[in-house]
A and B are shown apart, each in its own frame.
Chain A
Amino acid sequence: MSLLGGLTFSYPWLLAALAALPAIWFLLRVTPPAPRRVPFPPLRLLLGLDAPEETPARTPWWLLLLRIIAAAFIIIALAAPVIGENKAPVTNGPLVLFIDNGWTAAHNWDDRQSLIEETLDAAARAERPVALVATADPQTTIDLLDAGKAERIARELAPRSWLPDRKGALAALAKTKFAGKPEIVWLSDDVDHGDAIATSEALAKIGSLTVYRDARGKGPLALEPEDATASGYTVPVLRGDSEGARDGLVEAIGARGERLGGGEFHFLPGKSEADAKIGVPPEVRNQIRKLTISNEHAAGATRLLGADARHKEVGLVSAINVESEQPLLSDLYYLERALGPFADLHKGTIEDALTRKVSVLLLADIGRIAGADYDRVEKFVREGGVLIRFAGPRMTENTDDLVPVKLRNGGRYLGGAMAWAEPQHLAPFPDASPFRGLTVPEEVTVSRQILAEPSVELSERSWARLSDGTPLVTAAQRGKGWVVLFHVTAGPGWSSLPLSGLYVDMLRRLMDLSSGVRPAELARDADASFAPLSVLDGFGEMHKPSADILPIRGGELVRATPSAKHPAGLYGAEGAEIAFNAANRDTLLTPLPELRAIMQTYAGATTIALQSPLLVIAILLLLADAVLSLWLRGLLVVPRLPRGLGRTAGLFLIALVLMPQHSRADDAFDMKAALDTRLAYVITGVSDVDDMSRAGLTGLGLILKTRTSYLPEAPLGIDLDRDDLSFFPLIYWPMDPRQKELSPQAISKLSDYMRNGGTLLIDTRDRTLGGEPNNSPGTQTLRRLLGKLDLPPLQPVPADHVLTKTFYLLQTFPGRWEGGKVWVEALPPAEPGAAPSPARGGDGVSPVIIGGNDWASAWAVDNTGQPIAAVSSGSTMQREMAYRFGVNVVMYALTGNYKTDQVHVPALLQRLGKEK
């Protein structure tokens, strides 16, 4: 009874409806089930027949019971029973809900929401006025609402991507006048935020205070700024309490929400920080848009990655690579160290780098980009690439024009033993420079540089200057891309810039140039302003920014934490967006201290609402009732078991017997085709043509057996739709107008066959190809069937084609008819001036040989070996020549260009002899 002890009903008066159940019972009893309908021709004989028993048809008692139970369940469900403690209101005074709805509350928001709902439900029953105070939503005044309206507002309440402002909320609450002493429920986020005690004291002054906090081990988690590593990221994870161990998973999520990688973290007992190492393959690294703790659903557990987190593909080319083999890599070494953590580097020649599709190309001390490379680089820049060049000894003389400004020959020495001037410091960066906002360290000096010829545009093209005004970095736009020149070397030879952090920052900014961003937008100084691109809600989901979100200043971006004015999200221009994350290095998740108030924990739903399960049970019962009713009416056919079983078993047996047979048949064909090299013909579906093909290839096979070393087995017919063609070196295909259109599979199979070295011998059987107007039925069929095939360019067999020499020396190719032309793949033209070769063949065999002489008929023999069809001239010689052509074609298909090479044997032997 302990379970039922807590059973209460929200609408107990509805239970009165249970009294109506007997009435329902009675109604259901007298309503008979719908009858089965049967068509019956001799109905006339039935009319007037009286059933001897007059009792009305009854619904069976068990069905009735089922329905009554379903009805009872519905009534009880409508009364909304609840198991659990029933919070009786302490007073009838006003209720204040003081809700922390920063991202720190988001991970457990459902519990908070249900607590709010329950409390408001109770308040509604007691008709208490309610004030809702959401600490993360800036409020100036707080209104007392009736509980129903408060419930509607509370349903809209959501966590924000910034931290709560308890002081502001308290100030607003303090101004509110209450009729009596209010009961205050503080639904805290269980984070101190440094003002918990002050807040609780202030609240306790206003009314009686109850504080809710997270259960142990269920506090919020946050992700601190990530560190890029070679294989991915390392992210520190922060938790509030440090009790017990806690495990979790940080996932790397792409632009479309796809999971690209992940890493686990384990909090040791007593520790409030743990690292998650996320490994991602380098290919997908740039697709990562955010890191998030799985199942945490909070803005603080989500880290957006800005454009600077994306790795650029960077080509590194040094003069050394090009001009000497000496491994003197010092220039490249500094660039590698500077760019390595945030770019994928490809070293090698300019050509190598550009073929790797780099977006930024760095050239260290390459004086002149030579020849073809110049065109490549010029094209690369014009199409949007960023070329960053560093000066060096080679650039002092005679450079090319892929530089932003005209350079003066010879360098400038400062501070050397023979020089007048001291090494120069850097001047602050000009406004138009992408480096604006970077701090210039004092210790960076430049002792040698390349000077630019003075010109009008020099000042606007200078992105960095020395303190004497001479340019250090110049840049100019070329086409869609940029050319940037550092007037010093990439290594520390000419300046100490490569030794400073500024060098890294400058290079990083330049990487983003390739995203098509204007240089000024790259600057991140305090005054630059960045419009929001997309913002996070408290659950860590991205949204379009609403109109009232203001652009953020660069200064705030660095210092400030997100607020209602500037929520966490991505700011800046597309391609150079800056991540403004909810949690940063200063984030602290210290749990609430013990307060002088009633402390309770969110225990999930403290009550269990039984309404939904009861309704589900009722619906299931009604469904069962529907099925049973159908069965009673005979509308549901339940096959008698033995018969049904027999039928099913029969079907299974049939399936079992049929399926392996089918595959066995295929296997048999494949085995047959694979174990012997066979001649094959296409089954056209026209039986006389197919019979002739088979007889023809049989006859040709006999000739091959007697005359050559090739001993073919009986020929096979091929169904283009079903069979695998790859076993056959040569397929004979007679054209018949009655043949059906090829299926797309057959066409792709044929083109695969031809591409992979097979030969189709196509016979139009009309002797009209070439010469006569070729619109005979065979040719038309050829066009119809092969129109969709990718045929190579064809030519009539030239006199020196290898087909005329593979076994017999032939110049005509008669079949049953004589004289038609035979077409093969066009050979590459003979090289002019080459010695006339006795035989020419392409590389490999012609994928198709087309003629119209009806060869199969000439070859065809019956079972006794006698020819079946007469040849046109009637002479034995013509049939002999037809066989010779057949032998040549088969040899051609089998040996490929081996025969072509054979003609060189005498020349090779002669050459070998000479060398000896």
Chain B
Amino acid sequence: MTQTLREDAERAAGALPPLLVAAERLSSAVSLGVHGRRKAGIGESFWQFRRYQSEDAAQNIDWRQSARSQNLYVREREWEAAEAVWLWRDATAGMRYHSSGATTTKADRATVLTLALASLLIRGGERIALIGQDRPPSTGRVALNRLAHVLIDSAPGDAALPPEAPVTKNSQAVWFSDFLSPLNDIETAMKRLARAGLSGHLVHIIDPAEQDFPFTGRTRFESIEGALTALFGRAESVRDGYRARFKAHGEALSTLARRMGWSYLAHRTDKSAQAALVALYAHVGGDRKKG
């Protein structure tokens, strides 16, 4: 009974799931660094004065400016409309993997990055949404909490790729995954998003073991679903071959992203999440400034 009581109390007090807390901490650390830049481009700031036209609302007239001359001027601001950012995080079973070299699973790292990015964006006044959720992009604390609950409570499924779902035009997409699906499928999904008018970013989450292949000796590799296995008498003998393949895979992804005008970011789970977040935010923020 105390268990349920405590849970109720936590829920009532709005206690955040630990991952969300981690994400918040992460995003607040980042925001300190880019604070000044971010304020400059949000849309509050002045863009230009323009002559009043009859369709303009009277309340938009800048009376001080108008008083200096004969004409009425309307004050236009930069970026009146906030942009929507569509997020997608791969939740397949393979994402729940971490090797002995990493402390968190790929899924956890992806979730933390997703939430931290969302938190940053919301603080910057953007709207966020999760692809496949039947909700328009929204902003504010509520949106972040909703996102956190969806991401954290969702059981691992086999949805590696973002589903076909309506998205708002001229938005951005940020896709966190280990991108171990066939390249063709990834390309199809990216094209579908691009057709819907989204430009985007791929964040490739990599477990250190996946990149370094530290295995030696007689080893049977099993897929996470357990369906496929590969047996090597001496795992170290295929290390170079595997590394080459993995590198090629990453390059292929990167090329694909560049070709589509997307950005590509590789992130190892044994590295700091903060570095990845800074880089990622620079990409997303840079895109926004461009647009």
A contact residues vs B (CB 8 Å cutoff): 32-47, 49-53, 55-57, 632-634
Q: By the criterion CB–CB under 8 Å, are B238 and A49 in contact?
A: yes
Render B227-243 as a binary contact track against A, CB cut-off 8 A, 1 for contact.
Answer: 01111111001100110
Q: By the criterion CB–CB under 8 Å, are A32 and B223 in contact?
A: no
Given contacts A45-B245, A46-B230, are A39 and B238 in contact (CB under 8 A)?
Answer: no
Assembly CA distance A50 to B222 (angstroms): 16
Q: By the criterion CB–CB under 8 Å, are B222 and A37 in contact?
A: yes
B52 within 8 A of A: no
User: 8 tightest CB-CB pairs across the interface, nearest first?
Assistant: A41-B94, A57-B233, A35-B220, A40-B221, A43-B223, A35-B218, A51-B237, A57-B218
Known contacts A41-B94, A55-B233; can you find 17 more A-B pairs with CB under 8 A?
A: A33-B218, A35-B218, A35-B220, A36-B219, A37-B220, A37-B222, A38-B222, A41-B97, A42-B246, A44-B228, A46-B230, A46-B242, A49-B245, A50-B241, A51-B232, A51-B237, A634-B217
Residue of A nearest to B93 (CB): A41
Residues of B within 8 A of A33 (CB): 218
Assembly CA distance A51 to B233 (angstroms): 8
B7 within 8 A of A: no
Assembly CA distance A634 to B218 (angstroms): 9
Residue of A nearest to B215 (CB): A38
**Chain B: minimal CB distance from A375 (Å):** 63
9 A-B pairs within 8 Å (CB atoms) are namely A34-B218, A35-B219, A38-B220, A43-B222, A49-B230, A50-B238, A50-B241, A56-B233, A57-B234
**Chain B: minimal CB distance from A740 (Å):** 12
Which residue from B230, B237, B249 sits with its C-beta under 8 Å from A52? B237
Which residue from A36, A43, A53, A634 sits with its C-beta under 8 Å from B230? A43
Q: By the criterion CB–CB under 8 Å, are B218 and A41 in contact?
A: no
**Chain B: minimal CB distance from A441 (Å):** 88
Residues of B within 8 A of A32 (CB): 218, 233
**Chain B: minimal CB distance from A603 (Å):** 55
B78 within 8 A of A: no
Residues of A within 8 A of B178 (CB): 41-42
**Chain A: minimal CB distance from B79 (Å):** 40
Q: By the criterion CB–CB under 8 Å, are A38 and B233 in contact?
A: no
Assembly CA distance A37 to B95 (angstroms): 19
Assembly CA distance A36 to B215 (angstroms): 10
Which residue from B217, B228, B229, B234 sits with its C-beta under 8 Å from A53? B234
Q: By the criterion CB–CB under 8 Å, are B223 and A41 in contact?
A: yes
Residues of A within 8 A of B209 (CB): 40
Assembly CA distance A674 to B176 (angstroms): 65
Q: By the criterion CB–CB under 8 Å, are B210 and A42 in contact?
A: yes
B180 within 8 A of A: yes
Q: By the criterion CB–CB under 8 Å, are A49 and B233 in contact?
A: no
Residue of A nearest to B237 (CB): A51
Residues of B within 8 A of A634 (CB): 217
Residue of B nearest to A45 (CB): B245
**Chain B: minimal CB distance from A530 (Å):** 70
Residues of B within 8 A of A51 (CB): 232-234, 237-238
Assembly CA distance A50 to B234 (angstroms): 11
Assembly CA distance A43 to B182 (angstroms): 12
Assembly CA distance A127 to B246 (angstroms): 78
**Chain B: minimal CB distance from A308 (Å):** 69
Q: By the criterion CB–CB under 8 Å, are B218 and A36 in contact?
A: yes
Assembly CA distance A40 to B233 (angstroms): 16
Residues of A within 8 A of B222 (CB): 37-40, 43
Which residue from B217, B224, B229, B234 sits with its C-beta under 8 Å from A41? B224
**Chain A: minimal CB distance from B64 (Å):** 59
Assembly CA distance A55 to B237 (angstroms): 12
Residues of B within 8 A of A633 (CB): 218
How many residues on the B side are at the interface (Cβ–Cβ under 8 A)? 33
Assembly CA distance A36 to B97 (angstroms): 17
Residue of B nearest to A48 (CB): B230
Assembly CA distance A41 to B97 (angstroms): 7
Residue of A nearest to B94 (CB): A41
Within 8 A of A (CB), among B180-239: 180, 182, 207, 209-210, 215, 217-224, 228-234, 237-238
**Chain A: minimal CB distance from B237 (Å):** 5
Q: Which of A39, A40, A633 has the most CB of B within 10 A?
A: A40
Q: Which of A49, A50, A56, A633 has the most CB of B within 10 A?
A: A49
Residues of A within 8 A of B94 (CB): 41
Q: By the criterion CB–CB under 8 Å, are B246 and A40 in contact?
A: no
Residue of B nearest to A633 (CB): B218
Given contacts A45-B249, A57-B233, are A36 and B180 in contact (CB under 8 A)?
Answer: no
Q: By the criterion CB–CB under 8 Å, are B224 and A36 in contact?
A: no
**Chain A: minimal CB distance from B104 (Å):** 14
Residue of A nearest to B243 (CB): A45
Residues of B within 8 A of A46 (CB): 221, 230, 238, 242
Assembly CA distance A36 to B233 (angstroms): 10
Residues of A within 8 A of B232 (CB): 51
**Chain A: minimal CB distance from B214 (Å):** 10
Residue of A nearest to B220 (CB): A35
Within 8 A of A (CB), among B123-141: none
Residues of A within 8 A of B245 (CB): 45, 49
**Chain B: minimal CB distance from A287 (Å):** 55
Assembly CA distance A284 to B227 (angstroms): 74
Residues of A within 8 A of B218 (CB): 32-36, 57, 633
Residue of A nearest to B207 (CB): A41
Residue of A nearest to B230 (CB): A46
**Chain B: minimal CB distance from A201 (Å):** 78
**Chain B: minimal CB distance from A48 (Å):** 9
Q: By the criterion CB–CB under 8 Å, are A39 and B97 in contact?
A: yes
Residues of A within 8 A of B228 (CB): 43-44, 47
Q: Which of B95, B232, B246 has the most CB of A within 10 A?
A: B232
Residues of A within 8 A of B233 (CB): 32, 51, 53, 55-57
Assembly CA distance A42 to B237 (angstroms): 17
Which residue from A37, A39, A45, A56 sits with its C-beta under 8 Å from B246? A45
Assembly CA distance A34 to B106 (angstroms): 29
Residues of A within 8 A of B182 (CB): 44
**Chain B: minimal CB distance from A191 (Å):** 70
Assembly CA distance A542 to B217 (angstroms): 64
**Chain B: minimal CB distance from A34 (Å):** 8
Assembly CA distance A34 to B217 (angstroms): 11
Residue of B nearest to A44 (CB): B180
Given contacts A47-B230, A51-B234, A51-B237, are A42 and B180 in contact (CB under 8 A)?
Answer: yes
**Chain A: minimal CB distance from B18 (Å):** 24
Residues of B within 8 A of A37 (CB): 219-220, 222
Q: Which of A41, A43, A45, A633 has the most CB of B within 10 A?
A: A41
Assembly CA distance A800 to B218 (angstroms): 93
Residues of A within 8 A of B246 (CB): 42, 45
Residues of A within 8 A of B230 (CB): 43, 46-47, 49
Residues of B within 8 A of A47 (CB): 228, 230
Given contacts A42-B180, A45-B246, A45-B249, are A53 and B223 in contact (CB under 8 A)?
Answer: no
Assembly CA distance A632 to B178 (angstroms): 32
**Chain A: minimal CB distance from B33 (Å):** 33
Residues of B within 8 A of A36 (CB): 217-220
Residue of A nearest to B227 (CB): A43
Assembly CA distance A52 to B220 (angstroms): 17
**Chain B: minimal CB distance from A36 (Å):** 5
Residues of B within 8 A of A38 (CB): 215, 219-222
Assembly CA distance A517 to B245 (angstroms): 99
Residues of A within 8 A of B220 (CB): 35-38
Assembly CA distance A914 to B120 (angstroms): 101
Assembly CA distance A37 to B222 (angstroms): 7
**Chain A: minimal CB distance from B65 (Å):** 60
Residues of B within 8 A of A45 (CB): 180, 242, 245-246, 249
Within 8 A of A (CB), among B4-37: none
Residue of B nearest to A52 (CB): B237
Q: By the criterion CB–CB under 8 Å, are B221 and A43 in contact?
A: yes
Residues of B within 8 A of A55 (CB): 233
**Chain B: minimal CB distance from A914 (Å):** 73
Residues of A within 8 A of B249 (CB): 42, 45
